[in-house]
Amino acid sequence: MNSSFSDLHFLAANASLALIEEAFLAPKPGLVDRRSSGSHSDMDLTLMERSAQCLEPFFLEMAKVSWGREVDAVLREEIGLIGREAEAQMLSVTGGVNTHKGAIWSLGLCSSVLASHQMNTSKRRFFQDIAKLASTEDRKASSQKPTHGQTVKQLHGLTGAKEEAQGGFPHIVYASLPMLHHSRKRGCSEESARINSLLALTASLNDTCVAYRGGLEALRGLQKKSREFLQAGGLESKDGERILEELDTWSRARRVSPGGAADLLATTLFIDKFSSIRIN
């Protein structure tokens, strides 16, 4: 299929839309959704929407500078700069609340790589280039005070958002995307397929948001309960809804929230949209 530079508006709109779709999706354990703010006292659906909308021009800018370019250190640094500007804009729009930091990273990388291939590439090459871009050093990034991710990674020897991208999004390739497709094929509703996809992520992801707020015990507890949900057959199974409700209550009681998995679900939805169109 022929693609043109003007397709980049479509790309950026879909990155922002994926964030809105993730935010509205319900019922999600501990996360902001259309029912409630979950474990969060500083965020709600309106704030998530406002944040998602303000990010669209930054996804567009990342895609524009990447159009037809080689994935290399120069591109990495240009993308890094736009990513940091996007984070600053997000914080300004939300009054300092971190609504989408991890998503700027994951969807920013996807926007850049897709545009670098002028919207046409194989899945294999797409994920390889995500890994390459994320693994390239950004010499312009200044080291500020340690992030929550860095703190828990050091404390517990975990991997996080950076390593997930450096590995070419293994949790998307092997967990969330296959679960999304498998659930649709089984005849689940789109909403159930997306919830199953989210839980396929929480079942094994080292989500640094969960580890920061609740420690390793909470992270392992969430993973175990998510596996129970999947083993029961997901949301539309006999016990699925009950297990998910228990997981939500469990998450709220500990004030934990799988924000990293939510970011990767949004990224999964974005990739899924393009895989039927342009990622061959």
Ligand X SMILES: CC(C)(COP(=O)(O)OP(=O)(O)OC[C@H]1O[C@@H](n2cnc3c(N)ncnc32)[C@H](O)[C@@H]1O)[C@@H](O)C(=O)NCCC(=O)NCCS
User: What residues make contact with ligand ATP under the rule CB under 6 A?
Assistant: 22-23, 31-32, 40, 48, 98-103, 148, 209, 212-213, 257, 259, 262-263
Residue 32 interacting partner from ligand ATP, ligand X, none (CB closer than 5 to 8 Å by kind): ligand ATP
Q: What are phi and psi of 279, to 5 degrees?
A: -85, 100
* First-to-final CA distance of the chain: 10
Cα 73 to chain centroid, rounded: 23
Residue 138 interacting partner from ligand ATP, ligand X, none (CB closer than 5 to 8 Å by kind): ligand X
> Which of 39, 121, 176, 208 lies at the binding interface for ligand X (CB under 6 A)?
208
CA angle 88-158-113, nearest 5°?
A: 50
Residue 164 interacting partner from ligand X, ligand ATP, none (CB closer than 5 to 8 Å by kind): ligand X
Site string for ligand X, 142-161 (x = CB under 6 A): -----xxxx---------xx
Site string for ligand X, 216-255 (x = CB under 6 A): ----------------------------------------
Can you name the residues that pair with 121 across neighbouring β-strands?
Answer: 279
Can you name the residues that pair with 279 across neighbouring β-strands?
Answer: 121
Q: Does 77 engage in binding with ligand X (CB under 6 A)?
A: no
Q: Output 119 or 264, the one with its CB closest to ligand ATP.
A: 264
- Give Rg (Cα) of the chain: 18
Residue 162 interacting partner from ligand X, ligand ATP, none (CB closer than 5 to 8 Å by kind): ligand X
Beta carbons within 8 Å of 62's beta carbon, 6+ residues apart: 79, 82, 83, 108, 111, 112, 115
Q: Output 31 or 179, the one with its CB closest to ligand ATP.
A: 31
Please choose, from the candidates 62, 51, 48, 52, the residue with its C-alpha nearest in 3D space to the C-alpha of residue 11.
62
Please choose, from the candidates 245, 211, 252, 207, the residue with its C-alpha nearest in 3D space to the C-alpha of residue 225.
245
Please choose, from the candidates 150, 151, 45, the residue with its C-alpha nearest in 3D space to the C-alpha of residue 99.
45
Q: Does 138 engage in binding with ligand X (CB under 6 A)?
A: yes
Residue 126 interacting partner from ligand X, ligand ATP, none (CB closer than 5 to 8 Å by kind): none
**Residue 153: CB minimum distance to ligand ATP, A:** 13
Per the CB < 8 A criterion, the answer to whether 11 and 115 are in contact is: yes
Per the CB < 8 A criterion, the answer to whether 167 and 131 are in contact is: yes
Q: Output 240 or 258, the one with its CB closest to ligand X.
A: 258
Per the CB < 8 A criterion, the answer to whether 196 and 179 are in contact is: yes
Residue 255 interacting partner from ligand ATP, ligand X, none (CB closer than 5 to 8 Å by kind): none
**Residue 238: CB minimum distance to ligand X, A:** 31
CA atoms of 20 and 234, how far apart (whole Å): 23
Site for ligand X in 95-124 (CB under 6 A): 101-102, 104-105, 108-109
Q: Quick one: tokens of 208?
A: 């640094």
Residues interacting with ligand X, by CB under 6 A? Answer: 79-80, 83-84, 101-102, 104-105, 108-109, 138, 141, 147-150, 160-162, 164, 205-209, 259-260, 263-264
